[in-house]
Structure 1
Amino acid sequence: MIALSVRTERFTLPSTLRASWGELREREVLVVRLDFPDGLWGEGEAAPLEPYDGVSMASVRAALDAYAAVLRSLEPTADVLEACRAERDLPQALAAVDLALWDHASRRTGTPLARLIDPRAVGAVPVNATIGAEDRSGAAAAAAAAARAGFRCVKVKVGIGDDAGRLAAVRAAVGPEVGIRVDANGAWGTVEVALAALRSLEPVGLELCEEPVHGVEGLREVQAGTRVPIAMDETHAPGAGGVRAVCLKVTRGGITGVLADARTARAAGADVYLASTFDGPRGIAAAVHAAAALRVTRSCGLATLAPAGALTPRDGVIEVPGTVGLA
């Protein structure tokens, strides 16, 4: 029998994040522990963010309770993840189970997780700093601090207020060598508005723009109308093609889901990178290991946790932990 238990963890972000979907200061995640008949265990994390992904904490908790009942009567040779999926196909809940399975496999084999995924995994993952939709002076101060800390890329939330003025202040603060990406979270709404916004921001020099609008066709139209690389995120159709990059997230089905999405996106001709939904330490660790195994070269949005211990960025990278497990 595999026993599933759940506990809640809360943490505070280093500063309040403002985005087009709302503000975030505190974060709550569900930590899932699986205890196995071999005497070992594994832990994962469910990190729904309802204002962003529309998934409530209550729905995830209900799914995890249902999974616990399934696992109590599961045959020893059964596929744990598929048994849970058959009960309730909720990616944010399945992600927690998937991470716990990988955590257990790493502990059982004594192999660091990145090398368990792929023995060719790299030893460090480049990461970006994230700047909310602050006013000009606040955004510039945050960007300057990120550049001093060694970040080679900053991501700025847009879709609220004076985007052009904010981005100009950020560019002035970081200089010409630091990459700037923007994230609209679909706030520009239509292709026409998105293209006009990108034209106003192009002089800043953008590395890419995440999710200017929602929907595959809209993203394709925006990409066709701009030189700025467009990245798909919330739309989550990695094999659709028509954009230059796909942002992958562990909250959408765990490490197994990320690896499948990466294969699909790359087959469609898109670059890939990972980001968090302001996950807790297990979610960030899982994403770092997955990015290392995928040998991602674009900066990943994983510098979102503080204090981060072994996952603290230094000079714009997170070193991949060489220990077993996720924590």
Structure 2
Amino acid sequence: MIALSVRTERFTLAAPLRASWGELREREVLVVRLDFPDGLWGEGEAAPLEPYDGVSMASVREALDAYADVLRGLEPTADVLEACRVVSDLPQALAGIDLALWDHASRRTGTPLARLIDPRAVGAVPVNATIGVSDRARAAEAAAAAAREGFRCVKVKVGIGDDAGRLAAVRAAVGPEVGIRVDANGAWGTVEVALESLAALEPVGLELCEEPVHGAELLRAVQAGTKVPIAMDETHAPGAGGVRAVCLKITRGGITGVLADARAARAAGADVYLASTFDGPRGIAAAVHTAAALRVTRSCGLATLTAAGALAPQAGVIQVPQSVGLA
């Protein structure tokens, strides 16, 4: 028998984040614990963000309750993740189970998680700073602070007003050597608006643009019309092709889901990197270990924890923890 329990963790962001889908000040995640017959345990995290992904906390809790019923009567040799998937194929809930399984496997084998995923895992992951403010002066101040801290890439939320002015101020603040990526979260809506917006922003020099529009076909059309590398994010079709990069999220099925998505994206000719949905420490740790195992070279959006501890970025990278488990 495997016992499943859930508890809630809440934390406040260091500064409010504004994106085209709304403003985020506080975060709530569910910590999923599995207690195994071997006396060991594993903890994961379920982190839906309804304004962003449309998935409610209530629906994730309902799925986890259903998983608990299944796990109580599961045979020792059964595939735990698949048994849960059959009951409710909800990626954000399955991520909590998947992370707990990997956490348990790391503890059981005494192997740091990144090396458990792939023995060739690298020791550090490059990360970007995220700027989600609509005021030009505040955006420039945040970008300058990130550059002083050693970040080599900043991500600026766009589709929230005065995009061109804010991006020009950010470029002036960070200088020519720091990469700037923008994230529209689909706010530009149509291919025509996206291309017009990118043309206006392109003079500042863009590393890439995440999700200018929603939908694989529209993303391909935008990429065909611009030299700016386009990254797919909310449009979860990593094998669709036609874009230059795919942003992977632990909330979409956990480590196992990310590994499958990375294989599909790379097979379609796209680069990959990871980012968080302002996850808690277990979600960020899982993403850091997975990025290290995938040997990601693009900056990842994982510098989002207020109290990061061992996961705090130093000079634009997060060192991969060498202890076992996620926390």
Aligned to 2:141: 141
Aligned to 1:279: 279
Partner Cα distance (1:152, 1:143) in 2: 11
Aligned to 1:172: 172
Partner Cα distance (1:148, 1:213) in 2: 32
Partner Cα distance (2:177, 2:280) in 1: 31
Matches within 5 A, 1:238-277: 238-277=238-277
Matches within 5 A, 1:57-206: 57-206=57-206
1:51 aligns with 2:55: no
Identity across aligned pairs (percent)? 89
Partner Cα distance (1:168, 1:193) in 2: 19
1:248/1:272 contact within 8 Å kept: yes
Give SS of 1:108's match. Answer: helix
Partner Cα distance (1:58, 1:12) in 2: 20
Give SS of 2:257's match. Answer: helix
**TM-score for both structures, normalised by structure 1:** 1.00
Aligned to 2:229: 229
Number of aligned residue pairs: 327
In the TM superposition, structure 1's runs of 4+ consecutive aligned residues that sit over 3 Å from their partners are none
1:272/1:298 contact within 8 Å kept: yes
Query: Per-residue displacement from partner, 1:227-252 (whole Å, max 9, x unpaired)?
Result: 00000000010000000000000000
Give SS of 1:43's match. Answer: strand
Partner Cα distance (1:61, 1:142) in 2: 36
Please report how far the alpha carbon of residue 160 of structure 1 lies from its aligned counterpart in structure 2 after TM superposition.
1.2
2:5 maps to a residue whose letter is: S
1:217 aligns with 2:217: yes
Give SS of 1:52's match. Answer: helix
2:278/2:305 contact within 8 Å kept: yes
Aligned to 1:310: 310
Aligned to 1:21: 21
Partner Cα distance (1:49, 1:186) in 2: 16
**TM-score for both structures, normalised by structure 2:** 1.00
1:317 maps to a residue whose letter is: V
Give SS of 2:141's match. Answer: helix
Please report how far the alpha carbon of residue 192 of structure 1 lies from its aligned counterpart in structure 2 after TM superposition.
0.2
Give the superposed CA RMSD: 0.3
Give SS of 1:89's match. Answer: coil
Query: Per-residue displacement from partner, 1:245-267 (whole Å, max 9, x unpaired)?
Result: 00000000000000000000000
Partner Cα distance (1:70, 1:8) in 2: 21
Partner Cα distance (1:203, 1:42) in 2: 48
Query: Per-residue displacement from partner, 1:27-59 (whole Å, max 9, x unpaired)?
Result: 000000000000000000000000000000000
Give SS of 1:181's match. Answer: strand
| Structure 2 unaligned spans of 5+ | none
Give SS of 1:220's match. Answer: helix
1:124/1:292 contact within 8 Å kept: yes
Give SS of 1:145's match. Answer: helix
Please report how far the alpha carbon of residue 306 of structure 1 lies from its aligned counterpart in structure 2 after TM superposition.
1.2
Give SS of 2:212's match. Answer: coil
2:212 maps to a residue whose letter is: P
2:30 maps to a residue whose letter is: L
2:134/2:162 contact within 8 Å kept: no
1:27 maps to a residue whose letter is: R
| Structure 1 unaligned spans of 5+ | none
1:133/1:158 contact within 8 Å kept: no
Give SS of 1:231's match. Answer: strand
Query: Per-residue displacement from partner, 1:38-88 (whole Å, max 9, x unpaired)?
Result: 000000000000000000000000000000000000011000000000000
